[in-house]
Amino acid sequence: MAARSVSSGTDYYEADSLFNDISNRLRARMPRFDGDRLRNAYELALSAHDGQLRKDGSPYILHPLEVAEICMDLEMDADSIIAAILHDVVEDTSVRLNQIRQLFGNDVANMVDSLTKIKKIDFFARFTGRNKASDQARNLQKLFVAMTNDYRVIVIKIADRLHNMKTLGSMPDHKRIRISRETLEFYIPIARRLGLGTVTSELEDLVFQFLFPEEYATLKKQVSTYFHEHEQKLQEMISTTRGLLERNEIRVASIYGRSKHLWSIHQKMEIQGVGIDGIYDLLAIRIVIEGQELDCYRVMGLVHGRWKPIFERFRDFVASPKENGYQTLHTTVIGPGGSWVECQIRTESMDYEARQGIAAHWSYKEKPQLARIVKDESWLEFIRELSEDDVNSEEFVARTRESLHGDQVLVLSPRGEVVNLPAGATPVDFAYYIHTNLGHSIRGAKVNGNHVPLNYELRNGDVVEVIKAREENAAPRPEFMMMVRSPKSMLKIRKYFKAASRDERISAGRTLLRQLITGQGLYPLNLMANDKLAMLLKTMKVRSIDEMYSKIAIGELETSTIISELKKIHKLRVEQGPVKGRQADAERQPRKVSLLSGVGYELGLQLAGGQLMRSRAEIRSCCTPVPGDKLYGVHNRADRLVYVHRLDCPRLQVDLREGSLVEVEWSGQTEDKRYPARIRVHSLNRVGLLFEVLRFLSENRINLGGAEFSSSPSAVATDEMANFDLIVEVADMHELKQVMEVILKIEDVYGVERALPEEPGGEGEKGA
């Protein structure tokens, strides 16, 4: 085609040349394709984009042609190439979709339509100060639905992003960073999931170049120098290996040396915390053979026989392919001169799919691997079925992304920015990802507009909003360490406590251990009694309980080990029987409620007037007081304990015979504690009623500390009634009332009340 211009007078020689190259390549691969149809698409795009320029001053038409050329590299079909050439005309020019449909048919028109609809996802993050999270979710839904209808759409979209990244240098810094981060957090994971290996590597290195330009330039120079220094030895290894395989009648399609791409090296350096000198497998050779899967193992055996293998670095992705279908044997050997060299061994079909990914499904000359097609088709079918369900966009995106990433979650900020987090991450992880100070100050969260607990497990597509503490320079709460899943979040929290005061570390460590014990359904006040902690210290390299708490806060002690040891100590004490001085009481009355005993302020108690209660106390099991109950205490000097009762407990008068009255009250420091409370349920004695009560307690995470059941007047009477006492563990009177109200609503339950001993001496003896 001769160089020419259209109405604007712009010289389109370069565009014509690029189009001719695309046309010739397509004709060579598909001799029967309609060349006039392709030319008409180019002419339409050329006319539509006439006079439009890109940021770098080049004619705009070069962009869709470059995208089409990338699609050519992926060996996509003629309709895909045409759609790539036309992908911007409806969005940016006066060309209408019906015109494309009339000229090029439904397939091309539908692809262009889908690409036009999802284009907004590129621009959404540019808006500031406006909450359009639901719009972002709808755009993402359009993207995935379009992909299920015709997954050529997403491949063209990724090709579009690849060319945009290649020409990003003309953009302002802030746009380069935004687009690069969006590419890293959204497009690269999708390209990787679709198995587009070559495109993924290119995108990763481009992102590296724009996000970390200094590190990129330094590493590129280092790797180039290293590769140049070892090139001769690498070629020697290639020549030796080729001869070895040919002598053993292995047909080699290609064998060549390569250095790992820069982003991969950078990530490894970051993860391992080393410089380039600490990366031992910078060199690699790729062996592509003409054969079957079993031939790959033959090659590996021959390579291991010639070069010493490092077995701990062997990876078998042939027998166990990656999620995206990638199949290759990876083995590292010690090559000439002692250099570590990674050998990648694959068949021609594996090599083709590793480079082309999902694109191989419509272009591979032989029959593609059935398992790979079934896997991707089943995933696409899942998305397709989901799109047909009556779900909102946010839920659609959450479930789709969950299926896409597996071990990662992508969530959205209220402004539509995409955040990539580990699977199981919580709003606390999200806050720390945005900024360290935001993580420290998070006190609440909304997900999709609804308030959620901070330990809520984020799902893909969730829109996360952080609710900050009102005070400035807020400190992280110790329980954050139980909530985060990202190692970076944990390091930021521990770094804070390392810099905090000793008292703050001790308090944080104590709180964390108490909450972890509570999370296992155990009593912290029982396991963390001073005598048991003293026994624990004998097995640890710490000098005091406070030092133990301090080390827990900064992560130097493993809490799971500490809890395990405390369980052993507790079990040993239980097996040894009641402590001396309470033997007679214990024999006289079986224990029915776990005792709560310890220093008063640790139990959430204080003396009247707010004075700190330092003496030891025991919350009595006869009346099971909980925060919200009015209290009285009896100071028994012989036992050196203050026995704490509810004001209406008949047993209070009995204890007063052996001690003096002490006015006590709840301190308000009880938010992380649970207290046993005895309730009595009156109901008809029917099958399944007790099960319904227990199921309610379980579903609401109310621990059951014990139960007693009785019926009257007989076991066979038709009017038989049931009474059973339950010991439930609650935070306060408010929660206890809620439990009682719900149980009362269960069918055939006619009464629920707090249980008290019927007469003094009948229950609640010392030690009971």
Do 125 and 243 sit in the same domain of this protein? no
Residue with tokens 């036992």: 639
Which residues are CB-contacts of 9 (< 8 A; sequence separation ≥ 6)? none
Do 46 and 176 sit in the same domain of this protein? yes
| Of 70-84, 103-117, 136-150, 281-295, the least confident | 136-150
Do 18 and 155 sit in the same domain of this protein? yes
- Predicted local confidence at residue 435, as pLDDT: 86
Q: Alpha-carbon distance 4 to 615, whole Å?
A: 97
- The crossing angle, in degrees rounded to 10, of helices 545-553 and 530-537 is 80
In a domain, 409, yes or no: no
- Predicted local confidence at residue 716, as pLDDT: 40
Decide if 250 contacts 299 (C-beta within 8 A): yes
CATH number at residue 99: 1.10.3210.10
The sign one gets for the Cα dihedral 206, 207, 212, 213 is positive
Q: What is the mean pLDDT of the segment spanning 210-235?
A: 88
Angstrom CA distances, 498 to 52, 388, 597, stand at 57, 52, 32
Q: What is the mean pLDDT of the segment spanning 65-80?
A: 90
The closest alpha carbon to 75, from 277, 364, 288, belongs to 364
- Per residue in 46-66, pLDDT (tens digit) is 999 988 888 878 899 999 999
Q: What does DSSP say about strands 464-468 and 605-607: parallel, antiparallel, or unpaired?
A: unpaired
Number of domains the chain is built from = 5
Do 629 and 705 sit in the same domain of this protein? no
Q: Alpha-carbon distance 17 to 3, whole Å?
A: 8
Question: Which of 666, 699, 715 lies at the terminal end of a domain, its last residue?
Answer: 666
CATH number at residue 273: 3.30.460.10
Q: Where are the alpha helices (DSSP H) in 538-660?
A: 545-553, 559-576, 583-588, 651-656
Do 609 and 743 sit in the same domain of this protein? no
Do 91 and 226 sit in the same domain of this protein? no
- Predicted local confidence at residue 12, as pLDDT: 81
In a domain, 5, yes or no: no
CATH number at residue 703: 3.30.70.260
| Of 123-137, 172-186, 510-524, 670-684, the least confident | 123-137
In a domain, 494, yes or no: no
Q: Alpha-carbon distance 721 to 750, whole Å?
A: 10
Which residues are CB-contacts of 296 (< 8 A; sequence separation ≥ 6)? 289, 318, 329, 345, 346, 347, 350
Number of H helices, E strands in the chain: 33, 22
The pLDDT confidence band at residue 137, using thresholds 50, 70 and 90, is low
- Predicted local confidence at residue 130, as pLDDT: 35
Percent of the residues in the chain that have a pLDDT greater than 90, as a whole number: 22
In a domain, 456, yes or no: no
- Predicted local confidence at residue 484, as pLDDT: 86
To the question of pTM greater than 0.85 for the whole model, the response is no
In a domain, 315, yes or no: yes
Question: Which of 666, 687, 713 lies at the terminal end of a domain, its last residue?
Answer: 666
- Predicted local confidence at residue 369, as pLDDT: 39
- Mean of the per-residue pLDDT values of the chain: 78
Q: What is the mean pLDDT of the segment spanning 312-320?
A: 80
Q: Is the pLDDT of residue 83 over 90?
A: yes
Do 527 and 560 sit in the same domain of this protein? yes
Q: What is the mean pLDDT of the segment spanning 680-690?
A: 75
| Of 189-198, 209-218, 330-339, 520-529, the least confident | 520-529
Q: Is the pLDDT of residue 582 over 80?
A: no
The pLDDT confidence band at residue 763, using thresholds 50, 70 and 90, is very low
- Per residue in 9-28, pLDDT (tens digit) is 556 888 999 999 999 998 88
The top-scoring range by mean pLDDT among 258-262, 321-325, 617-621 is 617-621
Do 531 and 653 sit in the same domain of this protein? no
In a domain, 436, yes or no: no
The closest alpha carbon to 394, from 132, 125, 62, belongs to 132
Question: Which of 517, 545, 576 lies at the terminal end of a domain, its last residue?
Answer: 576
Decide if 398 contacts 383 (C-beta within 8 A): no
- Predicted local confidence at residue 124, as pLDDT: 38
Residue with tokens 């001690």: 659
Q: Alpha-carbon distance 386 to 133, whole Å?
A: 20
In a domain, 366, yes or no: no
The pLDDT confidence band at residue 445, using thresholds 50, 70 and 90, is very high
Residue 313: Cβ within 10 Å count? 14
Do 189 and 256 sit in the same domain of this protein? no
Question: Structural domain of residue 596, as residue ranges?
Answer: 583-666
Q: Alpha-carbon distance 167 to 250, whole Å?
A: 43
- Predicted local confidence at residue 558, as pLDDT: 77
3-class SS at 49?
coil
Decide if 172 contacts 133 (C-beta within 8 A): no
- Per residue in 613-671, pLDDT (tens digit) is 888 899 988 888 999 999 999 998 888 889 999 988 888 888 888 888 888 999 887 66
Q: What is the mean pLDDT of the segment spanning 315-344?
A: 82
State the virtual CA torsion across 612, 617, 622, 624 in degrees, nearest 10: 40
Do 253 and 307 sit in the same domain of this protein? yes
Q: What is the mean pLDDT of the segment spanning 104-128?
A: 69
Q: Alpha-carbon distance 61 to 18, whole Å?
A: 10
- Per residue in 93-107, pLDDT (tens digit) is 888 989 999 999 998
Do 653 and 509 sit in the same domain of this protein? no
The pLDDT confidence band at residue 248, using thresholds 50, 70 and 90, is very high
The pLDDT confidence band at residue 523, using thresholds 50, 70 and 90, is low
In a domain, 414, yes or no: no
The pLDDT confidence band at residue 5, using thresholds 50, 70 and 90, is very low
Which residues are CB-contacts of 533 (< 8 A; sequence separation ≥ 6)? 545, 548, 566
Decide if 336 contacts 237 (C-beta within 8 A): yes
The pLDDT confidence band at residue 585, using thresholds 50, 70 and 90, is very low
Task: Please confirm whether the linkage preceding 427 is cis (ω < 30° from 0).
Answer: no
- Predicted local confidence at residue 132, as pLDDT: 45
Do 318 and 196 sit in the same domain of this protein? no
